[in-house]
C-alpha cells in the first residue's frame, strides 16, 4: 500500500487528501503554515459532514478518514516515509521549480512524484526533478473528492511501472483514470471544456441569447446526456452521417478566437472575477451562490453514490 504525501492544502490538496484517506490510505498533508492547514482541516470537516448527511459514509468511516490525515508544516518529516507524493501547489512554474529542487534532496529514486498541474506539460515540470522517469501528472478535478476523473499524463521517459502504480492507486481510491499518451496543453478535459466556453462567450458577445439561456442550452440538453455518454458515443447514437453533415456546414462558422471574448476581458479588467468578488457574468451578492454550490454537490454525490453501488 502506498504511503501518500500531498504537498499543498488549498482547493485541490485538501480534497485530494480526503479522497485518499477515504480509501484507507494514511495521508500526510504539507503546507507552508498553520493557518493554511487550519483552513484545510475546516474544509475537510465540512465535506465529511456533507458526505455523512448524504449517507455516503458512516460515522465510523468519518472518524477513520479524519484519523488517516496527518497535517504538518515540516516538509522533511512529511515525505520521510512517502512512496507516492502528490504536488498541489499554485500553478506557477517558479514556485513548482523551487519545490522540486528541494524534493531532489529528499525523495529516493523509487518514489513517485506527481503534479496536479492544470496545464503545464510534463517536460516543463520534470526537467527540474532528478528522477524524471518517476514523475507523472495526475490531474484531479475540483472538487476532487466528488469528481471521479483523474487525467494521468506520461511521456517518453516515464517508466511503465510508474504508469501502472499510478493507475492502480487512482483506481483504488475509486476514481476514473484516463491515460494521456501525448504532451498536449490542457490535456483532454480542459480542451473540451474550453472549446465549449469559447463558443459560449462568442454567442454572448454576438448577442445571440442571454447568459441564462446560453447556460440553459447546456444544462438542459447536452449536459443531461454527458453524465452517461460522451460526445463520440452521442454521435454514434445520433447517426454518424447526420453528425458528419452538421460538422461539415457548422465547423466553419464556430468561433476560433485565440483570446478571451470581449465580455470576459471587460469583467476581468474591472476586477469582476465571478463568485469570489461578488460579480462576474452573474451577480453573486445574495445567498444564491451557496444554494447553487449545495445543489451542484448534491447531484455530484448522487452520481458518486450510484458509482459506489455499481462497484
Ligand atoms: N482549483 C482548481 O479548480 C484546480 C483544478 C485542477 C487542478 N488545479 C491545479 O492544482 C494545483 C493547486 O491548485 P489549488 O487551486 O489547490 O491552489 P490553492 O491556491 O488553492 O492552494 C495552493 C496551496 O499550496 C500552498 N503553497 C503555496 N506555495 C507552496 C510551496 N512553495 N510549498 C508548499 N505549499 C505551497 C498554499 O499555501 C496552498 O495551501 C495547481 O497546479 C492548479 O493549477 C486546480
117, 149, 180 — which closes off a domain?
180
Listed range (194-198, 253-257, 281-285) with the worst mean pLDDT: 281-285
Whether residues 202 and 294 fall in one domain: yes
Instruction: Name the strands in the sheet holding 135-140, side by side, starting at the edge strand that comes first in the sequence.
Output: 69-72, 27-30, 4-7, 84-87, 112-115, 135-140, 149-153, 176-180
CATH number at residue 251: 1.10.1040.10
The contacts of residue 7 (CB under 8 Å, 6+ apart) are 13, 30, 31, 75, 78, 85, 86, 87, 88, 89, 99
Question: Residues 117-132: pLDDT tens digits?
Answer: 998 999 999 999 999 9
Specify whether 165 is located in the same domain as 208.
no
Does the pLDDT of residue 106 top 90, yes or no? yes
Question: What distance in Å separates the CA atoms of residue 30 and residue 27, rounded to the nearest whole number?
Answer: 10
Answer whether residue 87 is part of any domain: yes
Backbone angles phi, psi at 7, to 5 degrees: -105, 115
Residue 38, CA distances (Å) to 5, 10, 43, 72, 88 in order: 17, 11, 9, 11, 17
- Among residues 153, 180, 207, which one ends one of the domains? 180
Candidate from 5, 6, 8, 39 with most ligand 1 atoms within 8 A of CB, to mutate = 8
Mean pLDDT confidence for 224-241: 96
Determine, yes or no, domain membership for 189.
no
pLDDT attached to residue 275? 87
Residue pair 23/172 in contact (Cβ under 8 Å)? The answer is yes
d(CA 129, CA 126): 5
Residue 287 has pLDDT above 80, yes or no: no
Is residue 51 included in any domain, yes or no? Answer: yes
Residues 24 and 157 in one domain: yes
Is 73 in the same domain as 115?
yes
185 assigned to some structural domain: no
308 vs 251, higher pLDDT: 251
The count of other CB atoms within 10 Å of the CB of residue 9 is 29
Instruction: Tell me, yes or no, whether 145 and 264 share the same domain.
Output: no
- What pairs with residue 64 in β-bridges? none
Are 126 and 204 in a shared domain? Answer: no
Residues with CB under 6 A from ligand 1: 7-13, 31-32, 36, 88-91, 95, 99, 116-118, 141-142
Q: How far, in Å, is the centroid of ligand 1 from the Cα of 118?
A: 10
Q: What is the mean pLDDT of residues 252-281?
A: 96
Q: Examine residue 290 and state whether it is found in any structural domain, yes or no.
A: yes
Pairing of strands 176-180, 135-140: unpaired
Strand partners, 140: 150
Supply 35's cell numbers.
493557518
Lowest mean pLDDT among 98-107, 130-139, 222-231, 301-310: 301-310
Q: ∠ at Cα 88 (93, 67), nearest 5°?
A: 160
If one counts the domains in the chain, the total is: 2
Distance 11 CA to ligand 1 centre (A): 7
Is there a single domain that holds both residue 164 and residue 277?
no
* Final residue before a domain boundary, out of 150, 180, 210: 180
According to the model, what pLDDT value does residue 286 have?
A: 76
Would you say residue 262 lies in a domain? yes
4, pLDDT greater than 90: yes
Same domain, 168 and 32: yes
Question: What CATH number does residue 38 fall under?
Answer: 3.40.50.720
Residue 87 CA, closest ligand 1 atom number? 11
Concerning whether 151 is annotated as a catalytic residue, the answer is yes
Q: Whose CA is nearest to atom 3 of ligand 1?
A: 142
Note whether 164 and 43 are same-domain residues: yes
Is residue 226 predicted with pLDDT exceeding 80?
yes
Rounded to 5 degrees, φ, ψ at 56 are -90, -25
Residue identifier of the C-alpha nearest atom 25 of ligand 1 = 8
Asked whether residue 190 is assigned to any structural domain, the reply reads no
Domain containing residue 275: 197-310
d(CA 28, CA 193): 32
What's the gap in Å between 310 CA and the centre of ligand 1? 32
Pocket probe for ligand 1: among 5, 11, 142, the residue whose CB has the most ligand atoms within 8 Å is 11
The average confidence (pLDDT) of the chain is: 95
> Is the same domain home to 145 and 209?
no
Mean of the pLDDT values across residues 166-189? 94
| Each residue's pLDDT tens digit, 138-147 | 999 999 999 9
Q: How far apart are alpha carbons 68 and 147 in whole angstroms?
A: 21
Q: Are residues 255 and 291 in the same domain?
A: yes
Distance 27 CA to ligand 1 centre (A): 17
- Does a structural domain hold residue 49? yes
Q: Which of 151, 252, 272, 298 is catalytic?
A: 151
Confidence of residue 290 (pLDDT cuts 50, 70, 90): confident
- How far is the centre of ligand 1, averaged over its atoms, from the C-alpha of 115 (Å)? 10
Q: Which residues of 72-99 are buried (b: 16+ CB within 10 A; e: fewer)?
A: beebeebbeebbbbbbbbeeeeeebeeb
pLDDT at 194 > cutoff 80? yes
**26/142 same-domain check:** yes
Amino acid at each position: 500500500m502506498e504511503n501518500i504525501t500531498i504537498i499543498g492544502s488549498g482547493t485541490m490538496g485538501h480534497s485530494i487528501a480526503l479522497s485518499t484517506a477515504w480509501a484507507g490510505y494514511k495521508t500526510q498533508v504539507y503546507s507552508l503554515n498553520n493557518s493554511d492547514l487550519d483552513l484545510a482541516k475546516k474544509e475537510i470537516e465540512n465535506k465529511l459532514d456533507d458526505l455523512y448527511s448524504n449517507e455516503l459514509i458512516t460515522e465510523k468511516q468519518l472518524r477513520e478518514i479524519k484519523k488517516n490525515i496527518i497535517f504538518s508544516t515540516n516538509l522533511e518529516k512529511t515525505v520521510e516515509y512517502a512512496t507516492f507524493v502528490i504536488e498541489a501547489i499554485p500553478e506557477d512554474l517558479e514556485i513548482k521549480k523551487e519545490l522540486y529542487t528541494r524534493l531532489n534532496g529528499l525523495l529516493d529514486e523509487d518514489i513517485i512524484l506527481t503534479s496536479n498541474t492544470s496545464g503545464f506539460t510534463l517536460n516543463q515540470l520534470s526537467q527540474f526533478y532528478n528522477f524524471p522517469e518517476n514523475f507523472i501528472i495526475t490531474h484531479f478535478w475540483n472538487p476532487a473528492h466528488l469528481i471521479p476523473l483523474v487525467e494521468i499524463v506520461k511521456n517518453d521517459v516515464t517508466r511503465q511501472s510508474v504508469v501502472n502504480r499510478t493507475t492502480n492507486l487512482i483506481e483504488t481510491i475509486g476514481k476514473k483514470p484516463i491515460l494521456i499518451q501525448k504532451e498536449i496543453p490542457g490535456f483532454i478535459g480542459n480542451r473540451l471544456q474550453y472549446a465549449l466556453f469559447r463558443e459560449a462567450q462568442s454567442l454572448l458577445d454576438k448577442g445571440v441569447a442571454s447568459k441564462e439561456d446560453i447556460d440553459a442550452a447546456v444544462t438542459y440538453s447536452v449536459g443531461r446526456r454527458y453524465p452517461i455518454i460522451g460526445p463520440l458515443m452521442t454521435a454514434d447514437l445520433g447517426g454518424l452521417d447526420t453528425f458528419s453533415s452538421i460538422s461539415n456546414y457548422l465547423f466553419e462558422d464556430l468561433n476560433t478566437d485565440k483570446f478571451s471574448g470581449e465580455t470576459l476581458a471587460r469583467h476581468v479588467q474591472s476586477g469582476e472575477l465571478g463568485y469570489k468578488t461578488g460579480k462576474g457574468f452573474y451577480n453573486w451578492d445574495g445567498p444564491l451562490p451557496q444554494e447553487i454550490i449545495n445543489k451542484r454537490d448534491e447531484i455530484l454525490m448522487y452520481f458518486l453514490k450510484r458509482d459506489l453501488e455499481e462497484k
